[in-house]
Amino acid sequence: MNKGQLVWRSKRFEAEDLKGSFLVIDATNQPEVNLQVYQAAAQNQLINIADRPDLSNFIVPFSFTRGKLTISVSTSGASSGLLRKIKTELSSEYDEAFKEYVDFLYDCRKKVIKEINDVRIRRQILKKLVHPPFLEMTRLDQLNERDEIFLKLLSEPN
């Protein structure tokens, strides 16, 4: 097998299929096959059996990104229904505006660190940037107004 490649074989599972694999993800809807995969895995192989976290030695959380923001969540196999509910809520709460907003916070942080020597004042400014008005201005595409308010915060004597 070539490293870095996936090989798809439409066939029944055989223990030999795991030979040379580092990572094994078993997601069949057949509990008896899942158990066979678990039993065939070597001690040094990472294995995840989707519906049997008790037989897995790693989990795969649900993750999504909004630019520099990454959010991951897992129920460790306890409830796929709850996981779907949580990921729907989080995806809605942390919408696409967060990509621009987190980029803004990143740029602001670099500027604050560069221009403000007093750690207490830095903290105050950075804390103000995570208040709802800055996110709302991002959502409303009021980026110039948002940036001006930031510059004003930066120049205010504290």
User: Are 77 and 119 in the same domain?
Assistant: no
User: Are 48 and 68 in the same domain?
Assistant: no
Q: Into how many domains does the chain fold?
A: 3
In a domain, 146, yes or no: yes
In a domain, 44, yes or no: yes
- Cα diameter, the chain: 71
Instruction: Report pLDDT for 157.
Output: 66
User: Are 107 and 147 in the same domain?
Assistant: yes
The predicted-structure confidence for 106-115, as pLDDT tens digits, reads as follows 999 999 999 9
In a domain, 46, yes or no: yes
In a domain, 108, yes or no: yes
Instruction: Spell out, as residue ranges, where the chain has pLDDT lower than 50.
Output: none
In a domain, 86, yes or no: yes
In a domain, 87, yes or no: yes
User: Are 86 and 135 in the same domain?
Assistant: no
Instruction: Report pLDDT for 44.
Output: 93
User: Are 82 and 122 in the same domain?
Assistant: no
The three-state DSSP-derived secondary structure of 77-128 is CCCHHHHHHHHHHHHHHCCCHHHHHHHHHHHHHHHHHHHCCCHHHHHHHHHH
Report d(CA 154, CA 116) in Å as an integer: 8
In a domain, 11, yes or no: no
Instruction: Report pLDDT for 158.
Output: 61
Instruction: Report pLDDT for 2.
Output: 60
Q: Which domain holds residue 45?
A: 21-55
Residues 6+ apart with CB under 8 A from 89: none
User: Are 88 and 102 in the same domain?
Assistant: no
